[in-house]
Amino acid sequence: MAEAAVDAVDAAVHTVRARHEFRGMRTAEHYFTVPLDHFNAAPGKEDAAETITVFAREYVSADHSEAAAEQLPWLLYLQGGPGGRGNRLMSLGGWSKAAAKDFRILMLDQRGTGLSSPIDRNTLPARGDAAAQARYLEHFRADSIVADAELVRRALGSEPWSIYGQSYGGFCALTYLSFAPEGLREVLITGGLAPLTGSAERVYRETFKRVAARNAEYFGWYPEDRATVDRIARHLRSTDEFLPGGERLTVERFQMAGAFLGGNTRVDGLHNLLEDAFVDTPRGARLSDSFLEQLRSLVSRAGNPLYALMHESIYGQGSATDWAAWRVLREFPEFSPDAPELLLTGEMVYPWYFEQDQALRPLKEVAGLLAAKPDWKPLYDPLRLAANTVPAAAAVYTDDIYVERGLSLETAAAVRGLQVWESADFHHDGIADDGEAIFGRLLGMVRSVRD
């Protein structure tokens, strides 16, 4: 598996192209050349010679002299996703401020995102037809991301390093613990304990329940928004409204505004969105330009098409996912776009995304092939995790609508030595609200064991 693949290539080609200093921090831009296919990187194997670029930006506090910074240990940050590029920090704050006291932070653009051989509707056709594109995308899951990280670590000359995984980054951290634990000093995870076994359907049955409960909680806070949501749904069923760019806004696409529900303080932004919904015009009440512009950024995957393409594959191990969320949705009629009291949805991906989002339409066929893929490789090694010796700690959020609490605790119990801090004070994006305290708490937990 990934461990053998890492050993197949001794080092990545590494260059540093730019360095900058601003707002109390220094940055360096690192580029690495890595194999496309870590798992068949032997001579004569298909894709063995092909490489891609992986980008990462280093952040160091200017409180450290350059000489002192060179001696700091590395902290690799693994961003949420799939399909999300590494954070672009404008200054050190929250968890990064806390981390920069003791670490050089490496913010990775996971392969296919940001500056790491990016994937979208414009780049994928270079691979050939839909079947060729699907084969290419098989190399963009957590196992390949971990193999990249190990080559990056070696290229930087780092001893086993610390990693911090948020959301999908936590999934990647579990893959790291499974297949390359020798590269790890300690592991911190927030909102990202993936189920180690079982089908994607099991995940969505639990998360649909959480999203329904979060809807009820939200409308309890803002009962007037219950009427506004239903008014918008009725309006869209009878009147054509178009997003900036010309795409028709459908009821099911409006339901994607439920992304707000996964936030801690961000949830209240949903109310601010809805209060701008309607304006009076000579044609009667219509959705306002302000509302439609705000909604556009929520319902388009133009900025991270890999999320839509690869999302269900993160739960695929040994079988096809086959649009699991779409099939499970039928068990929850309260989420139907025709429901009399409309509920807003969470992170689920449905096949109609690839019909209604113009950034995804050219990718419809390849998305179907990925959904039907019957032989996704395992992403975790339960036996190795059960024997884990790397200090690890995870924050589990009681009411998380994206990574369900019960499944997270099940995973935590299966990883030897993994300490859990459960909190009902935060939701999935807790580190955006009090990242400094959360990071410090988890770091203290692993250090208490290691030291």
Catalytic center residues: 167, 375, 428
Let me know how long the chain is: 451
- Identity at 425, one-letter amino acid code: D
Residue of 183, 178, 274, 259 lying closest to 221 (CA atoms): 274
Where do the DSSP E strands lie in 288-327?
none
| Token pair listed for 291 | 């509302």
Cα separation, 412 vs 304, whole angstroms:
29
**4 contact partners, CB below 8 Å, separation of at least 6:** 39
Is the distance from CB of 438 to CB of 444 less than 8 angstroms? no
Q: Across the beta sheet with 418-423, what order do the strands follow?
A: 13-22, 25-35, 51-61, 104-109, 74-78, 161-166, 184-190, 392-397, 418-423
Q: Is residue 115 classed exposed, middle or buried when 0-12, 13-18 and 19+ CB atoms within 10 A define those classes?
A: middle
Query: In this structure, are residues 171 and 314 in contact, taking their beta carbons and an 8 Å threshold?
Result: yes
Four-residue CA torsion sign, 144, 147, 153, 154? negative
Question: What three-state secondary structure class fits 286?
Answer: strand
d(CA 235, CA 248): 13
Strand ranges inside 199-312, DSSP E = 278-281, 284-287
* Contact partners, residue 225, CB within 8 Å, separation at least 6: 218, 219, 270, 271, 274
Residue with tokens 């790890």: 184
In the DSSP assignment, the letter for residue 377 is: P
In the structure, how many helices (H) and strands (E) does the chain have?
Answer: 18, 11
